[in-house]
Chains A and B, each alone.
Chain A
Amino acid sequence: MKIADKSTSAVSLVKAALDKAEKYQKTHHIFNWLNQDALRQAEEIDRKIKNGEPVGRLAGVPYAIKDNYLSRQGETTASAKILTGLSAPLDATCVEKLEAEGAILIGRTNLDAFAHGSSTENSFFGPTKNAKDLSRVAGGSSGGSAVAVALDIVQFATGSDTGGSIRQPASFNGVFGIKPTYGAISRYGVVAMASSTDVLGFFAQSAADLDLLMSITAGQDAKDQTSLPDFYGTKDEKLEKQKLGYVKEFMESPALDPEIKAALEGKLTLARSKGFETVELSLPTLEYALAVYYIIQPAEVASNLSRYDGIRYAFRSQKGKDIASVFSQTRSEGFMRENKRRIMIGNFVLSSGFYDAYFLKAAKARTLIIDEFAKAFSKVDAILTPVSPNPAFKLGEKVDDPVSMYLEDVMSVPVNLAGIPAVAFPAGETKSGLPLGLQLLGPRRSDKNLLGLVEDLC
């Protein structure tokens, strides 16, 4: 991380970031909002440095937030029409911690509306383009953040990962991304998607940067009762002589792109040459993870989106004539098609008479997935898998085929259902020059160890 100091001013860092942001905005459509106050904030940091006042571990570092993070700066839209006009009266805990260390917000990045999607095409403001290929998707849902880091506009950006939304765009754009252990970072102040799998995390250009960001933002928060007691960096977690697993079912999947498979095999070879023992694992339950995820996640989505009714804040349809039609018109106009699809699925699986057959059964299957990972981690310290079965696909390719879009998540969602950490990292390129990404999975609370392992493998 390049922080401002006596030799590099915060103003120069921020000015460079703003210039790039404006340049790439025209081609890639990365930001929903740019911070016009950033330079003034940079001057403030420079003044402190000059006066010898303390400035924090991220002094003057330009960063971006996914537009589902609440902050007093700019409107929080989650790229959804229904949230347009929302000026938050508070900062998310994560934002508060980053800014306390002197980081300077450059802008709010685009996402699939309410983080529903794997391409950032479901945004009310239009899609973000892939950093390396303008004809391809950025991945999603945290597409804007991934591209902002890949194009070196900002040094890091925040994301949220409910079923792969950090790792998949990280791998599509060739950057590092961490999906921490569930509860590692407070969710307070981030627009909820599916509460039981939502985690906040980061995009950066190295595992070391992710480590710094984790040490700043992880920790228990009274405002989020699902946040875990502080664990990150409380002990030296780097183990000697680690065992690395890989998943037989993923390696044998016909959907897996051969170039990704080759990249993974290459990393296994590298690991062995560095003294790691590699172990083939069979995790047959993971086959059901996507089905389980597409029951639990839409159920929580439908519930979490119930609050958007046009009564108290943000968008309200003018076509409403009474209470019921204010609700239905506001929601009909304010949500994207994909949001509505998930509301429909979610309400169906929760409805009386179907709850036991769908939601409850999925919850039980989820326990089996958790158990299967626990068993695997009794044999190995980490598991290496692809992030998605394919590199970045073409814009528009999957928009009208929701099931094929959902299949993008097949290798990422098991991690979210189990609440375990995973780090996505670049692993070369395809022959045609598209970034390839892999991920390393570990048991709960092994986030720091994973980042160390990733450094070893890169």
Chain B
Amino acid sequence: MTKKYEITIGIECHVQLSTKTKLFSEVDNDARGKEPNSCVSPVDYALPGMLPRLNGEAVKFAIRAGAAMNAKINARSRFDRKHYFYPDSPKGYQITQFYSPIIGAGFIELPSGKKIRIEHAHLEGDAGKLTHYDTYSLVDLNRVDTPLIEIVSMPDISSAEEARDYCKELWRTMVYAGVTNGDLYNGNMRFDVNISLKLPEAKELGTRAEIKNLNSFRSVERAVEYEYSRQSKLLDQGEKIVQETRGWSDATGKTTPQRSKEAAQDYRYMPEPDLPPLNLSSEFIAAEVARLPLLPHDYRAKFRGTVPDDLIEILLDYPSLSARLAEVEDSADKKIVKRLANLFSSVLLAEENASLLNDKLPEAPQLIELCTMLEQNELSSTAGKEVFIKLFEPKHAAKSPRDLAKELNLLQENDSAALEALVASVLEDPATRQAQADYKAGQAKVLGFLVGQVMKASHGKANPAAVSEILKKQLA
């Protein structure tokens, strides 16, 4: 359905960096499962006289994140203070990069091939967390000054689906770049979506609303859809859109106003006098860029033509699988890569094996050997899956798939004399007499039943194709 109005969307995304320590102190940056206010230093809770100390690892992560977005890394950047009073902000200001960000213009290429331009991205500290109760509120400062990069896109996004695809691709890019844990449920990445509508012939963009703090791809998509219907209804009725900040509720599926532009705060930005400007040498930047691992588009380029496109996209959701597959791709031929992709998808992405994804994957040489055995009919596909699953068990993890298959007595029977004997014994079984008669009477379908009986007798080890040929010969 073509829509009456064109949507223009720009997205700001906050990415929590998974550095060891905080952006401005030596305190543990990983507060998962820890007591409130236990990962807080005097610098973080803003004791007087405390000074921020820029974490070099966060700078390195920012360089990597920037390079992953095809962005220019600015050799010189600076920090600024953004002032506001709230108990989640112990200093009374956030240290950010308002005037001179570390990451310049870049782009994210969507799987569709469309490029969404990045305006800039900057380093800043996160705020603490408040929990409100009836008559009081509790403050947890564990998250204070967790390093963030805020990535600001250009208004290049033009549909709800594209907004979702952009967020997902950005998430993948950051996770593959190794700069964030990417745990959306715990707010590792949060999206602010700016949406405006206009008639196709209109030259100027419409007034925008900003939907704050979305933390899933689905809610980004739904919020944009909701905003389209809300704003288009208003426009249809000749009403004006108010420039404002809105919140999204997953439960109601609606956005509601939070703050209008008139009530917008004046942040009184000021250069941060406690931190000298950040000057990065081109060697330092180059060394960090060189550390960038393979990114989603690199994997697509590697697998395209070998693995079906939709399976590539599924595997990209699992960085460890894509990485192992790429490793295999480096030293094995396409058939093996394709087999392994299918094995990953049929075993690991099946509900009942989901827990295996948390375990250590078998090594590339093991996987190559396993897929080669499958390719050469040394293992049936059922036996192959079994060997694959067993390789996750610590006691089997170091074994070669061939040894393991032998040990489990799963090697496929290809010896034709042995197979002929096996077939003959099945045909002598009175239980197969009726089927033999039906086959001879022209019911070709029953051959499958007979093959199954032979396979059963072989405990799954017989090569079904060979069995089928022998059966046909013996029944002819």
Taking beta carbons and an 8 Å cutoff, which residues of A are in contact with B?
A: 68-70, 76, 78, 83, 86, 88-90, 92, 187-192, 194-196, 222-226, 299-300, 302-303, 305-309, 311-313, 323, 327, 347, 350-352, 355, 359, 363
Contact = CB atoms under 8 A, between A and B. Distances in A.
A312 B83 CA distance: 18
A299 B270 contact: yes
Contact of A224 (B42, B51, B81, B83): B51
Which 5 pairs across A and B sit closest by C-beta, in order of nearness?
A: A306-B92, A195-B273, A350-B268, A196-B273, A307-B46
B83 A306 contact: yes
A307 B90 contact: yes
Interface string B264-288: 0011111101111000000000000
A226 B48 contact: no
B86 interface: yes
Contacts of B268: 302-303, 347, 350-352, 355
Given A83-B48, A323-B137, A307 B270 contact: no
B48 A86 contact: yes
19 contacts: A68-B49, A70-B49, A88-B49, A90-B42, A90-B47, A192-B49, A195-B274, A224-B51, A225-B54, A226-B273, A226-B274, A303-B92, A308-B48, A309-B92, A313-B47, A323-B87, A350-B83, A352-B268, A359-B270
B76 to A, nearest CB: 16
Given A196-B273, A225-B54, 11 more contacts: A70-B49, A86-B48, A90-B47, A188-B49, A188-B50, A195-B273, A223-B51, A224-B51, A300-B273, A303-B81, A350-B268
A352 B46 contact: no
B275 A225 contact: yes
A308 B273 CA distance: 18
A198 B431 CA distance: 98
A397 B46 CA distance: 37
Nearest to A314: B48
A352 B270 contact: no
A76 to B, nearest CB: 7
Given A83-B48, A189-B49, A359-B270, A323 B86 contact: yes
Contact of B83 (A68, A196, A303): A303
Interface string B40-80: 00100111111111100000000000000000000000000
Contacts of A196: 273
A309 B42 contact: no
A340 to B, nearest CB: 15
Contact of B48 (A76, A303, A309, A351): A76
Contact of A225 (B83, B87, B91, B276): B276
A306 B47 contact: no
A44 to B, nearest CB: 27
Given A306-B83, A323-B86, A222 B92 contact: no
Contacts of A194: 273
A335 to B, nearest CB: 13
Interface residues of B, number: 32
B87 A303 contact: no
A265 B267 CA distance: 50
B139 interface: yes
A223 B53 contact: yes
Contacts of A190: 49
B48 A92 contact: no
A82 to B, nearest CB: 10
B85 interface: yes
A111 to B, nearest CB: 14
B191 interface: no
Nearest to B275: A225
Given A303-B81, A327-B85, A350-B269, A311 B139 contact: yes
Interface in B130-145: 137, 139
B49 A300 contact: no
B14 to A, nearest CB: 22
Contacts of A89: 42, 47
B388 interface: no
A187 B53 CA distance: 13
B93 interface: yes
A249 B162 CA distance: 66
A307 B85 CA distance: 9
Nearest to B267: A352
Interface in B400-426: none
A441 B20 CA distance: 45
Contact of A350 (B46, B53, B54, B270): B270
A293 B90 CA distance: 27
Point out which of A195, A196, A225, A305 has the most chain B C-beta atoms below 10 A from its C-beta: A225
Contacts of B54: 225
Interface string B303-339: 0000000000000000000000000000000000000
Given A226-B274, A303-B93, A323-B137, A351 B49 contact: no
A108 B273 CA distance: 27
Nearest to A69: B49
A307 B48 contact: yes
A191 B85 contact: no
B95 to A, nearest CB: 11
Contacts of B137: 323
B90 A312 contact: yes
Contact of B47 (A88, A299, A311, A327): A88
A88 B91 CA distance: 17
Given A309-B87, A312-B90, A303 B51 contact: no
Contacts of B93: 303, 306
B47 to A, nearest CB: 7
B266 A351 contact: yes
Contact of A306 (B45, B87, B91): B91
B49 A312 contact: no
Contacts of B87: 309, 311, 323
Contacts of A303: 81, 83, 92-93, 268, 270
B263 to A, nearest CB: 14
Point out which of A302, A305, A309 has the most chain B C-beta atoms below 10 A from its C-beta: A309
A364 to B, nearest CB: 13
Nearest to A310: B87
Nearest to A83: B48
Interface in B71-114: 81, 83, 85-87, 90-93
Contacts of B46: 307, 312
A141 to B, nearest CB: 15
Nearest to A186: B51
A346 to B, nearest CB: 8
Contacts of B276: 225-226
A244 B296 CA distance: 67
A312 B53 contact: no
B258 to A, nearest CB: 17
B83 A309 contact: no
A90 B273 CA distance: 23
Nearest to B51: A224
Contacts of A195: 273-274
Contacts of B92: 303, 305-309
A70 B92 CA distance: 20
A191 B52 CA distance: 14
B48 A300 contact: no
Contacts of A78: 48
Point out which of A92, A190, A194, A311 has the most chain B C-beta atoms below 10 A from its C-beta: A311
Given A307-B92, A323-B137, A300 B51 contact: no
A306 B53 contact: no
A259 B47 CA distance: 45
A299 B92 CA distance: 14
Contact of A309 (B85, B266, B269): B85
A70 B266 CA distance: 32
Contacts of B52: 225
Given A312-B45, A323-B86, A307 B51 contact: no
A405 B211 CA distance: 50
Contacts of A351: 266, 268
A169 to B, nearest CB: 21
A92 B49 contact: yes
